[in-house]
Amino acid sequence: MCGIVAFIGDRSAKDVLIEGLTRLEYRGYDSAGIALIEKNKIEVYRAKGKLSILKELVADKTLTASIGIGHTRWATHGKPSYENAHPHFSNHIAVVHNGIIENYLQLKEELLQKGYEFKSETDTEVIAHLIDSLYEGDLFEAVKKGIKRLKGSYAIAVISEKEPEKIVVARYDSPLVIGISEGETFAASDIPAVLSYTRDFIFLEEGDVALLEKGSIKIFNDDKEVKREARHVDWNPVMAEKAGYKHFMLKEIYEQPRGIIDTIREKYSLEDGEIYFGEIDFEKIKDIKKITIVACGTSWHAGLVGKFYIENLAKIPVEVDIASEFRYRNPIIDEETLLLPISQSGETADTIAALRLSRKSGAKVVSICNVVGSTIARESDGVIYTHAGPEIGVASTKAFTTQLVSLFLFALFLAQKRNKLSNDAIKNYLGELIRLPEKIEAVLKHDSYIEKIARDFIHYKNFLYLGRHYNYPIALEGALKLKEISYIHAEGYPAGEMKHGPIALIDKDMPVFVLGTKSEVYDKILSNVEEVKARSGIVISTVTEGDVDIRGKSDYVVEVPHCINELTPFLNSVVIQLFAYHCANLLGLDVDQPRNLAKSVTVE
């Protein structure tokens, strides 16, 4: 998930682009770059690393250009490097791109045969050469032809030396907005990038391609010119702090794609199939015979998912303990045990106590934590930091999913070091992982629909959540979220346990939330849905796109994109978070500070 920005007008394009990239840096900071048309010639400035390096590079340069494009990168194809930084150039054309081109190898082979030379490892360079190969004097037409050849996701901005007063942008499955001001036109991945210059925006739709000139916009879709209504965005300072969201919790739900990107960046190489954890000395933990996870609340639910990951992928036995109970059961801990505490704050009292007890027994400790320098981080042999950023809402959202992704990557790391997975298998898992943020973005598009579902259920007094395998802990988390912020009583169960008690409660007044995404236990969960319907229960289901079986037996359905079984907890988590949020908001409750709860429990 990268960030792009483009500008054409009368002011300094360099200044507009640098400010825009500063506001978009959360979308990626492996490298950054800008391309300006200076005296009818494109000048490209790129730098590996954070945006501050690019800022230093251009700070003292006198650049008069009033047209340009910019990019801040999160690496997918190709490691972070100067060569892989955007913009990419082909003869007279420069391109910036957010997304993943799935057929880039096929296109690259065609372009190599035409004599094009590639200087990077990226899929984006293919776009630049492709558009150049199709150019016949009209940049807009070349881009329209080019995007028809692309498979995957993209938001692109293109400029040409031969047409120095035009920018062409296009999008498919990646966000892109156009900002409008008198005599000036902007484009960006997100509104905040250009909010200093305009409050009026056009939100491009799937397949749109637009020609931007000074104060002029033409938009086409499927070769037909279309009209897109501009919207005025009016944010006051308080809203700006929350990025326009009503509550921090909703903002943090929407920040999850970014949090996952920030958490996994620089921890893997897709090309080599390597997992890197520089914070962990594997030699110290290579002889472990078991792992014990300790955590509280939502972090405990993350630990339950982590047990599936580690046992299935790395083949190491895992126990998961509620930290507040751990000390009182006389746990068997020794030097062949790896303790894995999970804590957002790193200051959770019960988890700290479990850590200290285990260290006395000789256990090695690797922790998962969101706060650098916290007690748990300081007292561990190694730390996997989640980069969720500050989480203000008491009900954990982005901290939870960044814990999940840390556990998944740690399981792959252990599997690789212990030779339990082939290099090809690791690459396949990583390929699925880098697509996860965009799939979460797709789930977030169901927000308004989930709010409509919530409106029908806010006056129910009880709820049951059901899930199996990887999603059984997500059922527990869904029930916890609903209880925490809406004060509606809810219970989460492994779906197979429904017949062992909870089924007695099911009737027309007991809604059942089923996590029914495709998996190897899909037939089992379908059977559970039928059992609920046979007792007049109301069923809300999450299903994989295209599902017909569970959909046909459910009263309400939220579709999520297809993904491997291991990653379905992320997509289902977003749905249950949004449902709980909207229930609480519609009831007029204090979503960010629910009664009786604190963000970090620092006493036993």
Neighbours of 265 (CB within 10 A): 15
Strands 177-181 and 184-188: antiparallel
Structure tokens at 177: 């907005």
Catalytic residue among 2, 369, 563, 583: 2
Distance CA 358, CA 492 (A): 30
Peptide bond preceding 87 in cis form (omega within 30 of 0): yes
Q: Which tokens in the block code for residue 249?
A: 């919790």
List the one residue out of 267, 349, 340, 328 whose CA is nearest residue 303: 340
Query: Per DSSP, what are the bridge partners of residue 489?
Result: 462
Residue 185 near residue 9, CB atoms below 8 Å: yes
Question: Among 310, 443, 440, 316, which residue's Cα sits nearest to residue 368?
Answer: 310
Ordered DSSP codes for 247-299: SHHHHHHHTHHHHHHHHHTTSEETTTTEE--TT--HHHHTT--EEEEEE-HHH
| Sequence-distant (≥ 6) Cβ neighbours of residue 363 within 8 angstroms | 292, 333, 334, 335, 337, 338, 339
The set of residues, in sequence order, having a beta carbon less than 8 Å from that of 210 and lying 6+ positions away, is 168, 169, 170, 178, 187, 204, 217, 218, 219, 220
Closest CA to 404 of 348, 474, 495: 474
Q: Which two tokens stand for residue 363?
A: 């256990």
Enumerate the H helices of 534-567 as residue ranges.
549-552
- Helix, strand, coil percentages (3-state) for the chain, rounded to 5, are 40, 25, 35
Nearest to 545 by CA among 573, 571, 578: 571
User: Is 452 an active-site residue?
Assistant: no
Cα gap 516→467, rounded to integer Å: 7
Strand order in the sheet with 382-385: 318-322, 290-295, 337-343, 364-369, 382-385
* Cβ neighbours of residue 520 closer than 8 Å, sequence gap 6 or more: 469, 565
Question: Would residue 369 show up in a list of annotated catalytic residues for this protein?
Answer: no
Residue given tokens 């008491």 in the structure block: 394
Which of the following is catalytic: 290, 420, 553, 599?
A: 599
Burial label, 565 (beta-carbon count in 10 A; 0-12, 13-18, 19+):
middle
Kindly list the catalytic residues. Answer: 2, 599
